[in-house]
Amino acid sequence: MELTHFSFNVDDGIAVVLLDRAEEPVNTIGPAIFDDFNTVVERIETDESIKAVVFGSAKRNNFLAGADIRFFDTITEAEEGAAVIRQLHTLFTRIEALHAVHDKPVVMAIDGACLGGGLEFALTGSMRIATDNRKTQLGQPEVQLGILPAGGGTQRLPKLVGIATALDMILTGRPVRPHKARKIGLVDEVVPREVLYEVAKRRASESIGHLGEGGGSSFKSFLAPTHLQDLALEQNPVGRRMLFKKAEEAMLEKTKGLYPAPQRALEAVKIGIEQGNAAGYEAEATFFGELIISPESKALRGIFFASQMKKHATGISSNAEPKQVSKVGVLGGGLMGAGIATVSALKAGATVRIKEVDTNGVEHALRHVSRQIAKQVTRRRMTSFEGEQTMNKVTATTNWSGFENADLVIEAVFESLELKQDLLGQVEDLIEDDVVFASNTSSLPISQIAADARHPERVLGMHYFSPVEKMPLLEVIVTDDTDDRATVTAVEFGKRQGKTVIVVKDGPGFYTTRILVPYLNEAFFLLADGASVEAIDEAMVNWGFPVGPLLLTDEVGIDVGAHIVKIMRDAFGDRIAGPDMMAGLIEDDRKGRKNGRGFYLYNDKGERGSVDDSVYKALGLGPRRVLTETEIHGRIVSAMINEAARCLEEGVLQSSLDGDIGAVMGLGFPPFRGGPFWWVDQVGAANMVAKLDGLTEMYGERFAPAQILRDHAESGKPLR
């Protein structure tokens, strides 16, 4: 038996089969290993000396990461996709039958990622044992790639953990950690990595002779009390109908019906429950075929690969080496500063010194960090000892003590050029010549902040997004003077903080803020043209943005928005000027959520209510009229995309891929549309130009298409 992707050892009647795609960084499943897999199963079925099986992985921290996502791009027809899935179903059904039919219990020994098809494979076993390794996670992330679990996940998972829990995992794509997996009955035991195979072999041996108790749904898990409760509700047709209805409502509320994959996944679960496994598997295959060639899935896969590529990117073209950062100084312990401190200690493992103006600020900053760490402990992502150790890395002060040792200083104070310049000057008096200074500004040009710097080559921007702990993007901004060493230091440290990093050229608004301004401005133009606040925000949410532009203005702060819009207008002139409504709002003391007065009404607790109709009077606007959603999102999105294209044309962006990553991860551009450039490729650059030309005719030069769009319209070449 020649095997390329597995090792196979039989000891005392127990076959230990380890998957190892030696040539790949992680184990994945796809046609390339089907033959090997079938050979393994056949040997287990026929070799009488084998009484039980343990399946595991020869890779550290990785059990099986699911289907090989690269393979998906080779599928061009729905039927082709469905056929691959049927083949996989046959294989998985045979593995499930090893216990149920051949009386050979199968124990899945799981250490590391067990995702997608990986979990579906694990579900075919009689029992699952997982390690308590931090890298161990079990999940069905398929919807995040615009497909559904198609290796039996929509059928086996609900039977094991109950419909409600399975739907939660399948529809959100969120993985569970080992202890949670144990609690919901997904795994039977959680053990330290060191004893995984010893325990797995023992359990395999103990299970020999217990025919029928395995077969995909573990006997033990079935007896868990929470499980019985769920089953009582779920076995009752009325209860079940209610459950599916609620799950569908919650899903539609989130997806606005824009993502076909969760809808199909829910349908597949329902078909399996109501019509039986065979119908359920067939639904999986058919829906997979349909989804895998859908534009939504292609765009989501495009984002996955783009963010994987960014993990390897340094943002520079030379071989400059990054400075090793172990100590970070953070100026300002407000929401941004404290967030930066948190990810620097928690994710990057650095020692952090925060400087605040007074003891109140110090306390506030430390409390923020401590809360974030406590959350990790509660969620069992770290032990309380590790939590304490991490907290010990963070200190705060009202003077400059500790800053002289920093390897990197990140400034996160109020958006005032003078203040930032002044702080840079003071820091330069303290730090060594090779220490990098970063400003977390969202709009001020870095070259202006560095105007009087003694060492402008070590000054750059590190633009984080709020809340820092959650938002995945970091925009590193470099001036003509910034050297490669500083750039790569910021990029590598950003990655350690868990960020996807893009490097952009300095300029007003850099990339993300710059494309946000025309987007917000166009919302104001629409208000001036008679559209209502609700209509504008709803149209954008229905197009796929997480919030509408006017609610976003309330969230960011109308005063902050006005400040940014002014900076951009000063820099780019009328081309990027809005209808100048912010001043009227500020005069009417409207700053947004923070003072409870904005486009929306807020109660005493800061909870948002409906639109505040008095806002129109404050803006000097008359009665509203109906504008179609197509007109609203057509104008707003075109304004944003056109500005993104200018950023590419001017070299602010290093690539269109960065532009897509920045818009999706920083601004919530709908991921299923792939980002501004991916989207232009979908609609066609020629169509985009025609649309912008039409808008220019109607509304003026602000819509004049970027030259790069015209070039691509002419050449027909894609932007991505």
Which sequence positions are flagged as catalytic? 475
When CB distances to ligand 3H9 are compared, the closest residue is 116
The smaller minimum CB distance to ligand 3H9, of residues 29 and 641, is found at 29
Give the rounded distance of the alpha carbon of 562 from its chain centre: 29
Instruction: Give min distance, CB of 347 to ligand 3H9, in A.
Output: 12
Distance CA 562, CA 104 (A): 69
Distance CA 362, CA 141 (A): 40
* DSSP tag of 48: T
Dihedral of CA atoms 373, 377, 379, 382 in degrees, nearest 10, equals 100
Backbone angles phi, psi at 624, to 5 degrees: -85, 155
Task: Write out the E strands in 280-402.
Answer: 327-331, 351-355, 394-397
The smaller minimum CB distance to ligand 3H9, of residues 81 and 561, is found at 81
Instruction: Give min distance, CB of 62 to ligand 3H9, in A.
Output: 6
Instruction: Give min distance, CB of 116 to ligand 3H9, in A.
Output: 2
Closest CA to 653 of 494, 521, 514, 481: 514
Instruction: Give min distance, CB of 124 to ligand 3H9, in A.
Output: 12
H or E element: which one contains 45? helix 31-46
Q: Residues 717-720: contacts with CB within 8 Å, 24+ apart?
A: 718/681, 719/645, 719/648, 719/656, 719/677, 719/678, 719/680, 719/681, 719/685, 720/302, 720/656, 720/657, 720/660, 720/674, 720/675, 720/677, 720/678, 720/681
The smaller minimum CB distance to ligand 3H9, of residues 113 and 636, is found at 113
Instruction: Give min distance, CB of 665 to ligand 3H9, in A.
Output: 15
The smaller minimum CB distance to ligand 3H9, of residues 121 and 600, is found at 121
The smaller minimum CB distance to ligand 3H9, of residues 135 and 179, is found at 135
Instruction: Give min distance, CB of 294 to ligand 3H9, in A.
Output: 14
The smaller minimum CB distance to ligand 3H9, of residues 141 and 339, is found at 141
554 touches 536 (CB < 8 A): no
Within 8 A by CB and 6+ apart from 106, the residues are: 52, 53, 54, 55, 95, 98, 99, 124, 125, 126, 127, 204, 214
The smaller minimum CB distance to ligand 3H9, of residues 193 and 566, is found at 193
Give the rounded distance of the alpha carbon of 614 from its chain centre: 38
Pairing of strands 327-331, 137-139: unpaired
The smaller minimum CB distance to ligand 3H9, of residues 28 and 638, is found at 28
Distance CA 583, CA 573 (A): 17
Task: Write out the E strands in 83-160.
Answer: 106-110, 113-115, 127-131, 137-139
Closest CA to 329 of 408, 382, 273: 408
Instruction: Give min distance, CB of 267 to ligand 3H9, in A.
Output: 15
Distance CA 385, CA 373 (A): 11
Rounded alpha-carbon distances, angstroms, from residue 543 to 143, 260, 633, 673, 687 = 19, 14, 7, 10, 18
The smaller minimum CB distance to ligand 3H9, of residues 311 and 605, is found at 311
In total, the chain counts a number of residues equal to 720
The smaller minimum CB distance to ligand 3H9, of residues 70 and 210, is found at 70
Instruction: Give min distance, CB of 172 to ligand 3H9, in A.
Output: 13
Structure tokens, 278: 């065979």
354 touches 395 (CB < 8 A): yes
The smaller minimum CB distance to ligand 3H9, of residues 297 and 656, is found at 297
Instruction: Give min distance, CB of 177 to ligand 3H9, in A.
Output: 12
Task: Write out the E strands in 356-427.
Answer: 394-397, 408-411
Instruction: Give min distance, CB of 36 to ligand 3H9, in A.
Output: 15
Rounded alpha-carbon distances, angstroms, from residue 679 to 260, 271, 295 = 18, 34, 10
Instruction: Give min distance, CB of 620 to ligand 3H9, in A.
Output: 51
What residues make contact with ligand 3H9 under the rule CB under 6 A? 25-26, 28-29, 65-70, 88, 113, 115-117, 120, 141-142, 145, 149-151, 153, 308, 311
Closest CA to 677 of 691, 693, 692, 663: 663
519 touches 549 (CB < 8 A): yes
